[in-house]
């Protein structure tokens, strides 16, 4: 009724004021009364209208104008818009500081306190301290210390605590404690004791922390307002839980619920408290699932907000699943999903919402978690039905259907940038999701679906690594201000949704949040489409199906080619082998794999590690784990998509007693994903052909080999170039980043003797004039078939050398370079140069790149059997394995055509000349 009257009043207010201005008292009442809830979109226009009418009516009362600015500023503060709040509060302070304004001091005390809150929200602690000090200076001028002073000391203590200045926090809260005692402000005094307890706990002083917490607890019980008492008891319980005082924390939660009782509050506080109680029961050394389920049920029954209902239902489902009650778990997961997707009306637990129904949901992370939980219950059922093939097949269908919905939600979350807000939790959740999806494929013998899950996980990781669309919307990006503004608003409304306890506020904020997220998603896609590189990288439709993979990737390798992809989950890892006609999915332990892989990589990178002893044992064990389960004997060309760090499989030995390396019989190439092989597909050059060889050596490296002769890389570079027709070579100061940017995209083969690595998250290549970040190549149209970086990447603690080499290869193939050769770790450069020359010789003989590299390594191993495996195994091929077209046939054909044309022209000329001479000879005879 009050809102209806207020609405009518707001409608007729302009007419009333234009006819006759209202008395000042009415304006005071209008500013003091809460005409609308804070979430109502009409509130701010209403307050702005009142402020405007004050000016139109000619009121010169500075206090009234200051009050209007303060009320608007505090409203913006409640809406988590600190910049707007700050502007209005500063204006209110300015007006109150005008000469002759008698009410300036008490009003500015409150203004400075609100201004400090705005500055703190803006991440400006120093500005907040200044505002609080001004507040306290004014408070000391009053006869009686105002209540704002107590809050000022609490806010100062909170700022010091967040800055990890715990001693200063105790100083401020100690002074605030005295002021609060004198003012009789018990609620703030309780909060001060809580803050002291946290500061003592951070200083490793458990005794004083316990004393402060106990003071807060005793005082809280004396508060008359049930809801205030209940909220503070919740905070006390959280602190007691942090202090590992589990029984006392439980009692505080229960008292919090008891104090609020059956009072008609439109709040979600009881449900929130029950959820916390349930979690507390599960956090004990011996989890009490029975009591946890009881409290989660109570939370479900008492929840007012749909997000809390979904949270309680999911927690209850998790507890039921952990206790082995799968039917109840499915039931409660379905309740959680229904709560979040209001348009979803399932008939039974097997039903899932459609993707269109989930697009506008703001709580996609929460929904994603519930859907994955539901799918995991189906997987648990599959594990127990080995003796019932028919039932297992039906359960597999249900599980995969649910995992595919989670997979689609993961794409939406990545596009909405939600994943980067909680990157570690997100990565762990998605790894478990895709691990379980692959286990479902493995147990249900659905190997054809496994490819999708492996490739999709690669795409999600790449999306997060690229940081889209932040890279596009950063400095110099496309419409950055618009995108940044959307991010700010989403952050603001997400906080409002999380902190809103009232049903009306929660609903209004959630609706606005959904609209903002949807707008940002559309803008993100527009930004991506502006960049050909990102559009090619991140379009989910590029994830290949099985038929496309066989046709586009495996068929060009011939009948002995195959694609071998690995996935590394938290508990289990999987390998998928795809040939032209068969599919094999294998499962192995992640812990065992990580142990062997780590030692294998360390041994290879360690100089002087010989192919004997420990290396052969590790290499053989890794071969039996990763490769032996697959029938690869008849296959001699393998494209490998590694699970994480790149491991050169060619150095795996079939035997643990004598070296029997796979490189002798198998050619390997590597790729981040099958989708990237499409990006690296070999483009056609413009007629007649594009240039063949570009060599660049920004620094003139020289090495002293065993024969004590100097090997100059510039000479080696020229020697390599001489194998091609009309090569271009730049050395020393001539090898600049600008020349690389302008010329490299048009060459078939690019040879770089340059340092490269990661500077922060950005891969760079060092040229003579500057270090070129690879992002500078983002929209360059490369037509390069092969780019060779024979140097190992620079050492970086965050990015080990193999990771850096594979990472820069992935980036270059994404830019359109068909094939990249890098070296995973540093070795003997002279020997590397010798192998490089042999490699180019095989390339020019017309061999495919993977076969040319295999032949180079096998020949070297045959001539030098005592060479450490790390010396020859480090040079790896990423991307397309097809042969490099050097246009020999084109050149020869063109030359032959020119010669034939000249012969024809000469013959025609001679014949015509003879014909012209013949008539004159006939005339002379006559």
3-state secondary structure 801-858: HHHHHHHHHHHHHHCCCCEEEEECCCCCHHHHHHHHHHHHHHHHCCCCHHHHHHHHHH
Alpha-carbon span 225 to 870, nearest angstrom: 73
Q: Which residue has the tokens 């690995």?
A: 566
Q: Which residue has the higher pLDDT, 852 or 100?
A: 852
What are the tens digits of pLDDT across the range 675-713?
Answer: 888 654 444 444 444 678 999 988 655 444 444 344 467
- Whether 786 and 813 have beta carbons less than 8 Å apart is answered as no
Q: Other C-beta atoms within 10 Å of 656: how many?
A: 16
Using pLDDT thresholds of 50, 70 and 90, give the confidence band for residue 536.
low
Which residues lie below 8 Å from residue 863, measured CB to CB, with a gap of 6+? Answer: none
From residue 413, how far is each of 340, 364, 365, 777 by CA, in Å?
15, 7, 7, 28
Looking at residue 884, the DSSP 8-state letter turns out to be: P
Lowest-pLDDT range, 12-26, 563-577, 770-784?
A: 12-26
Determine what percent of the chain is predicted with pLDDT higher than 70: 79
For the residues 745-750, what does the mean pLDDT come to? 90
**CB burial of residue 42 (10 Å; 0-12, 13-18, 19+):** middle
What are the tens digits of pLDDT across the range 467-502?
Answer: 544 454 444 444 456 777 777 777 777 777 777 766
pLDDT at 421 over 90: no
Using pLDDT thresholds of 50, 70 and 90, give the confidence band for residue 876.
very high
Q: What pLDDT does 199 receive?
A: 92
Which residues lie below 8 Å from residue 897, measured CB to CB, with a gap of 6+? Answer: none
Cis peptide before 688 (omega within 30 of 0): yes
Using pLDDT thresholds of 50, 70 and 90, give the confidence band for residue 886.
low
Q: What is the separation, in whole angstroms, between the first and last Cα of the chain? A: 131
- Whether 196 and 176 have beta carbons less than 8 Å apart is answered as no
Looking at residue 215, the DSSP 8-state letter turns out to be: H
Tokens standing for residue 880: 């397309």
What are the tens digits of pLDDT across the range 110-134?
Answer: 889 999 999 998 889 999 999 999 9
Three-class DSSP labels, 762-799: EEEEECCCCEEEHHHHCCCCCCCCEEEECCCCCCCCCC
Q: Which residue has the higher pLDDT, 784 or 885?
A: 784
Give me the numbers of helices (H) and strands (E) for the chain, helices first please.
37, 16
Determine what percent of the chain is predicted with pLDDT higher than 90: 32
Q: What pLDDT does 714 receive?
A: 78
Alpha-carbon span 441 to 407, nearest angstrom: 14
pLDDT at 750 over 90: yes
Q: What pLDDT does 709 receive?
A: 44
Angle at 447 between CA 446 and CA 449, to 5 degrees: 75
Q: What pLDDT does 539 receive?
A: 47
Q: What pLDDT does 606 receive?
A: 85
Q: Other C-beta atoms within 10 Å of 681: how many?
A: 13
Alpha-carbon span 179 to 800, nearest angstrom: 56
Looking at residue 584, the DSSP 8-state letter turns out to be: E
What are the tens digits of pLDDT across the range 833-867?
Answer: 888 889 999 998 889 999 999 999 999 998 888 88
Partners of 758 in the β-ladder? 763
Q: Which DSSP string do the residues of 336-369 spell out, in sequence order?
A: HHHHH-TT---SSTT----HHHHTT-S-HHHHHH
Tokens standing for residue 912: 């015509």
Measure CA 462 to chain center: 8
What are the tens digits of pLDDT across the range 10-63?
Answer: 444 444 444 346 555 555 555 555 556 666 666 667 677 767 766 666 555 567
Tokens standing for residue 370: 């519930």
Alpha-carbon span 754 to 743, nearest angstrom: 16
Alpha-carbon span 378 to 77, nearest angstrom: 46
Query: What pTM was estimated for this model as a whole?
Result: 0.80
Give me the chain's average pLDDT, please. 81
Q: Smallest Cα–Cα separation from 314: which of 241, 376, 386?
A: 376
Q: Smallest Cα–Cα separation from 849: which of 880, 815, 889?
A: 880
Alpha-carbon span 788 to 874, nearest angstrom: 13
pLDDT at 795 over 70: no
Task: Tell whether the torsion through CA atoms of 39, 41, 42 and 47 is positive or negative.
Answer: positive
Q: What pLDDT does 78 receive?
A: 82
From residue 27, how far is each of 32, 64, 76, 247, 873 by CA, in Å?
9, 8, 20, 53, 82
Alpha-carbon span 501 to 266, nearest angstrom: 8
Alpha-carbon span 240 to 235, nearest angstrom: 9
Alpha-carbon span 838 to 832, nearest angstrom: 10
Using pLDDT thresholds of 50, 70 and 90, give the confidence band for residue 225.
confident
Q: What pLDDT does 1 receive?
A: 42
Task: Tell whether the torsion through CA atoms of 646, 648, 653 and 659 is positive or negative.
Answer: negative
Alpha-carbon span 405 to 820, nearest angstrom: 36
Coil, strand or helix: which one is 696? strand
Q: What pLDDT does 786 receive?
A: 92
Alpha-carbon span 793 to 777, nearest angstrom: 19
Q: Which DSSP string do the residues of 542-569 spell out, in sequence order?
A: GS--HHHHIIIIIGGG-TTEEEEEEEE-
Looking at residue 868, the DSSP 8-state letter turns out to be: -
- Whether 61 and 24 have beta carbons less than 8 Å apart is answered as yes
Alpha-carbon span 806 to 823, nearest angstrom: 9
**Which secondary structure element, helix H or strand E, spans residue 747, and what is its range?**
none
Q: Which DSSP string do the residues of 298-312 spell out, in sequence order?
A: HHHHH--SHHHHHHH
From residue 796, how far is each of 127, 648, 699 by CA, in Å?
38, 20, 21
Lowest-pLDDT range, 579-583, 618-622, 746-750, 770-774?
A: 770-774
Alpha-carbon dihedral angle through residues 193, 195, 196, 199, given to the nearest 10 degrees:
160
Q: Which residue has the tokens 């038929």?
A: 547
Q: Smallest Cα–Cα separation from 802: which of 654, 515, 633, 600?
A: 600
Using pLDDT thresholds of 50, 70 and 90, give the confidence band for residue 571.
very high
Q: What pLDDT does 3 receive?
A: 46
Q: What pLDDT does 626 receive?
A: 94
Looking at residue 21, the DSSP 8-state letter turns out to be: P
Using pLDDT thresholds of 50, 70 and 90, give the confidence band for residue 600.
very high
How many residues appear in the chain? Answer: 926
- Whether 295 and 273 have beta carbons less than 8 Å apart is answered as no
Q: Which residue has the tokens 């506008």?
A: 360
- Ranked by mean pLDDT, the top range of 164-168, 361-365, 421-425, 765-769 is 164-168
Alpha-carbon span 285 to 273, nearest angstrom: 21
Q: Which residue has the higher pLDDT, 798 or 676?
A: 676
């Amino acid at each position: 009724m009050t809102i209806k009257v207020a609405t009518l009043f707001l409608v007729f207010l302009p007419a009333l004021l234009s006819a006759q201005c209202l008395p000042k008292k009415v304006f005071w009442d209008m500013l003091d009364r809460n005409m609308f809830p804070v979430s109502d979109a009409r509130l701010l226009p209403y307050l702005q209208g009142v402020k405007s009418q004050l000016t139109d009516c000619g009121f010169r009362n500075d206090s009234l104008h200051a009050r209007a600015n303060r009320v608007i500023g505090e409203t913006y503060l409640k809406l988590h818009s600190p910049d707007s709040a700050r502007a209005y509060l500063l204006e209110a302070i300015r007006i109150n500081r005008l000469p002759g304004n008698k009410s300036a001091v008490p009003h500015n005390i409150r203004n400075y306190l609100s201004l400090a809150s705005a500055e703190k929200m803006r991440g400006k602690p120093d500005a907040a301290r200044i505002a609080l000090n001004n507040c306290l200076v004014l408070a000391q001028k009053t006869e009686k210390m105002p209540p704002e002073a107590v809050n000022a000391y609490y806010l100062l203590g909170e700022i010091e605590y967040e800055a990890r200045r715990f001693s200063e926090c105790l100083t401020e809260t100690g002074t605030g404690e005295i002021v609060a005692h004198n003012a009789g402000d018990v609620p703030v005094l309780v909060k001060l004791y809580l803050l002291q307890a946290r500061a003592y706990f951070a200083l490793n002083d458990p005794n004083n922390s316990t004393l402060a917490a106990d003071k807060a607890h005793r005082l809280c019980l004396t508060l008359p307002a049930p809801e205030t008492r209940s909220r503070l008891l919740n905070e006390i319980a959280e602190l007691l839980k942090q202090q590992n005082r589990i029984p006392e924390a439980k009692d505080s939660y229960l008292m919090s619920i008891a104090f609020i009782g059956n009072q008609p509050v439109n709040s979600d506080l009881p449900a929130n408290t029950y959820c916390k109680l349930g979690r507390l029961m599960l956090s004990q050394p011996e989890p009490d699932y029975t009591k946890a389920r009881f409290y989660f049920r109570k939370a479900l029954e008492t929840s007012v907000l749909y997000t809390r209902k979904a949270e309680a239902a999911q927690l209850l489902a998790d507890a039921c699943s952990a206790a082995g009650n799968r039917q109840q778990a499915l039931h409660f997961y379905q309740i959680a999903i229904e709560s979040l997707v209001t348009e979803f009306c399932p008939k039974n637990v097997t039903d899932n919402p459609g993707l269109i129904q989930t697009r506008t949901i703001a709580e996609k992370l929460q929904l994603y978690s519930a859907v994955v939980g539901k799918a995991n219950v189906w997987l648990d059922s599959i594990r127990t039905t080995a003796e019932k093939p028919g039932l297992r097949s039906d359960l597999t269908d249900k599980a995969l259907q649910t995992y595919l919905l989670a997979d689609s939600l993961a794409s939406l979350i990545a596009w909405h940038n939600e994943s980067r807000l909680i990157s570690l939790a997100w990565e762990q959740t998605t790894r478990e999701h895709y691990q379980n999806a692959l286990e479902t494929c493995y147990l249900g013998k659905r190997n054809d679906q496994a490819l999708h899950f492996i490739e999709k996980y690669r795409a999600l990781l790449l999306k997060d690594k690229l940081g889209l669309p932040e890279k596009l919307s950063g400095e110099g990006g496309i419409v950055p201000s618009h995108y940044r503004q959307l991010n700010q608003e989403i952050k603001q409304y997400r906080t409002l949704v999380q902190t809103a306890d009232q049903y009306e506020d929660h609903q209004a904020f959630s609706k606005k949040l959904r609209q903002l997220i949807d707008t940002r998603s559309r803008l993100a896609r527009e930004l991506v489409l502006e960049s050909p590189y990102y559009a090619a990288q991140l379009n989910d439709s590029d994830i290949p199906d099985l038929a496309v993979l066989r046709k586009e990737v495996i068929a060009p390798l011939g009948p002995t080619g195959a694609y071998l992809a690995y996935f590394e989950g938290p508990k289990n890892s999987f390998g998928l082998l795809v040939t032209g006609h068969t599919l094999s999915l294998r499962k192995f332990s992640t812990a065992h794999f990580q142990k062997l892989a780590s030692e294998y990589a360390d041994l290879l990178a360690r100089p002087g590690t010989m192919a004997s002893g420990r290396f052969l044992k590790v290499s053989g064990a890794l071969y039996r784990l990763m490769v032996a389960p697959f029938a690869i004997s008849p296959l001699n060309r393998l494209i490998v998509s590694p699970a994480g760090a790149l491991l050169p499989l060619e150095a795996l030995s079939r035997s643990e007693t004598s070296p029997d390396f796979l490189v002798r019989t198998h050619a390997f190439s590597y790729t981040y994903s099958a989708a990237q092989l499409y990006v690296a597909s070999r483009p056609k050059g413009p007629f007649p052909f594009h240039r063949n060889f570009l060599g660049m050596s920004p620094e003139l490296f020289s090495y002293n080999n065993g024969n004590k002769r100097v090997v100059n890389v510039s000479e080696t570079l020229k020697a390599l170039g001489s194998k091609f027709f009309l090569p271009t070579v730049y050395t020393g100061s001539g090898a600049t980043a600008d020349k690389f940017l302008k010329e490299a995209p048009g060459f078939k083969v690019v040879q770089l003797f340059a340092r490269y690595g990661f500077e922060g998250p950005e891969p760079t290549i060092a040229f003579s004039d500057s270090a070129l970040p690879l992002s500078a190549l983002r929209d360059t149209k490369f037509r390069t078939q092969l780019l060779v970086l024979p140097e190992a990447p620079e050492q970086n603690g965050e990015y080990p050398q193999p990771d850096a080499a594979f990472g820069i290869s992935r980036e270059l193939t994404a830019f359109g370079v068909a094939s990249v050769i890098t070296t995973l770790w540093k070795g003997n450069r002279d020997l590397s140069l010798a192998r490089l020359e042999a490699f180019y010789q095989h390339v020019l003989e017309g061999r495919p790149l993977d076969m040319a590299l295999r032949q180079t390594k096998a020949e070297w191993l045959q001539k030098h059997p005592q060479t450490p495996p790390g010396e020859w195994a480090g040079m790896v091929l990423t991307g397309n394995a097809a042969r490099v077209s050097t246009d020999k046939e084109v050149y020869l054909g063109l030359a032959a055509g020119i010669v034939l044309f000249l012969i024809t022209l000469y013959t025609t000329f001679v014949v015509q000349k003879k014909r012209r001479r013949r008539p004159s000879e006939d005339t002379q005879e006559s």
